[in-house]
């Protein structure tokens, strides 16, 4: 039986207890995991491919069929794939490409009348590493969401690492997605050792500039520890959804959408913020009815019982304020005239408006990226996008006359900061005058 806790949003004590529980769910760094991953990183940095193979044997029990997947194996996976699956993937890729092409930014040059030239260059990263979970947790949609914007950004080479299946072979759906998205090279390696290999490079796996893609706690911890050696997309926590709903919403839809996140993980959080207690009752009944025929019922039940919640509000404005405070990864608005509320919803990874913009639409197909900030970090982080795979450089050109006009100000500021060599670097250019 799934019973979702009810919280009166006007009761400050209940509200504070809810937020404390949410913060505890996000969790502190697991010291045991951190120590284990730190040792893996050190060993791979020093030992290269031999260390990667050692950990693969230790954790998986056997080595994969090959280290790097041959190009003909990738091509065979696409040829042998279910045509309907390929068509669905191609349609999704086109939607994601169309959305992300609109994010492309161009550099600029600003030539001023006094001869000064200022500007900015934007270009894609040279090489990006994409981690894709394998085995039973294989998500070809993650390949699309990471590889497509990287290609649009102008990334020169995408290196994928993915764990092999139990038979030592690559997951065919992952290979199909990799081929369709233009991934350049695929290596059969998983876990923290694969992240370390991408960060430092080995004899076989190239060193990359940035690592993106989802993974378990060991993968996430490795990315966190290696940030600075390489760039990373984000430090992602458990998945979450918040549904804002009023009496006009269909409880059947709400229940289904809450469970679509709850099935990810026992730590996933599914929250309903509503102005209708009657709707909340109907949603809970629908959850129990629908859960009975869904395959991941046990995971959903634990997730909803532990981290599910119904927050009862007095008004739409109170619901908006709560949504902004929670800053969810996914935010659905199932209220009358939902687009009217969009301008007030400032903190969310991705917003889904109306009864037919169900969150899985965003996971697989609509076009916006499904790599989103979690655990309240939507207050200051943004979804993965084309900008995530670019770097910017500014440039400056000054004539002697332009620098002469500015030199007194620069020298004054430098001397006030006690940086006399800075001041001298400007003054020395005018010593002969």
Same domain, 153 and 67: yes
pLDDT in tens, 263-280: 988 889 999 999 999 999
Same domain, 317 and 367: yes
Same domain, 190 and 250: no
pTM: 0.92
- When pLDDT is averaged across residues 343-368 and rounded to a whole number, the result is 96
Within a domain: 81: yes
Same domain, 40 and 74: yes
Within a domain: 302: yes
Same domain, 53 and 168: yes
Confidence check: pLDDT of 231 > 70: yes
Q: Of the residues 232, 259, 290, which one is the last residue of a structural domain? A: 232
Within a domain: 191: yes
Read off the CATH number of the domain in which 321 is found.
Answer: 3.40.50.1980
Same domain, 226 and 247: no
Confidence check: pLDDT of 26 > 80: no
Same domain, 215 and 241: no
Domain count for the chain = 3
Kindly indicate the confidence band of residue 24, based on its pLDDT and cuts at 50, 70 and 90: confident
Give the domain extent around 211: 31-87+123-232
Residues carrying an active site annotation: 329-330
Same domain, 41 and 164: yes
Alpha carbons 68 and 279: distance in angstroms, whole number? 53
Kindly indicate the confidence band of residue 340, based on its pLDDT and cuts at 50, 70 and 90: very high
Within a domain: 344: yes
């Amino acid at each position: 039986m799934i019973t979702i806790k009810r919280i009166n949003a006007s009761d400050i004590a209940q509200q504070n207890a809810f937020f404390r529980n949410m913060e505890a769910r996000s969790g502190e760094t697991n010291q045991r995991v951190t120590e284990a991953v730190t040792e893996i990183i050190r060993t791979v940095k020093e030992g290269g491919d031999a260390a990667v193979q050692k950990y693969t044997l230790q954790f998986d029990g056997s080595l994969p069929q090959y280290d790097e997947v041959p190009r003909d194996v990738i091509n065979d996976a696409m040829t042998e794939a279910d045509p309907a699956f390929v068509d669905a993937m191609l349609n999704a890729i086109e939607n994601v490409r169309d959305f992300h092409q609109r994010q492309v930014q161009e550099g600029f040059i600003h030539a001023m009348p006094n001869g000064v030239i200022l500007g900015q260059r934007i270009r894609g990263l040279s090489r990006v590493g994409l981690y894709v979970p394998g085995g039973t947790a294989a998500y070809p949609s993650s390949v699309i969401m990471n590889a497509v914007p990287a290609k649009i950004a102008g990334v020169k080479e995408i290196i994928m690492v993915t764990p092999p299946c139990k038979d030592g072979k690559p997951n065919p759906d992952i290979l199909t997605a990799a081929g369709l998205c233009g991934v350049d090279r695929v290596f059969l390696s998983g876990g923290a050792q694969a992240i370390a290999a991408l960060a430092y490079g080995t004899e076989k796996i190239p060193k990359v500039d940035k690592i993106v893609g989802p993974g378990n706690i060991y993968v996430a911890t490795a990315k966190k520890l290696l940030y600075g050696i390489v760039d990373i997309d984000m430090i992602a926590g458990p998945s979450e959804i918040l549904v804002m709903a009023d009496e006009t919403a269909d409880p059947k839809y709400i229940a289904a959408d809450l469970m679509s996140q709850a099935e990810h993980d026992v730590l996933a959080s599914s929250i309903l913020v509503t102005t209708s207690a009657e709707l909340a009752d109907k949603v809970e009944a629908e959850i129990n009815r629908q859960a009975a025929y869904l395959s991941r019922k046990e995971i959903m039940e634990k997730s909803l019982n532990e981290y599910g919640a119904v927050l009862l509000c007095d008004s739409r404005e109170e619901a908006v304020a709560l949504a902004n405070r929670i800053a969810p990864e996914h935010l659905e608005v199932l209220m009358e005239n939902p687009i009217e509320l969009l301008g007030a919803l400032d903190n969310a990874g991705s917003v889904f408006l109306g009864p037919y913009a169900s969150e899985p639409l965003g996971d697989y197909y609509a076009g916006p990226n499904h790599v989103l900030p979690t655990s309240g970090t939507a207050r200051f982080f943004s979804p993965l996008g084309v900008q995530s795979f670019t770097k910017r450089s500014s440039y400056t050109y000054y004539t002697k006359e332009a620098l002469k006009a500015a030199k007194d100000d620069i020298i004054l500021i430098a001397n006030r900061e006690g940086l006399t060599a800075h001041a001298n670097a400007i003054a020395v250019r005018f010593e002969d005058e």
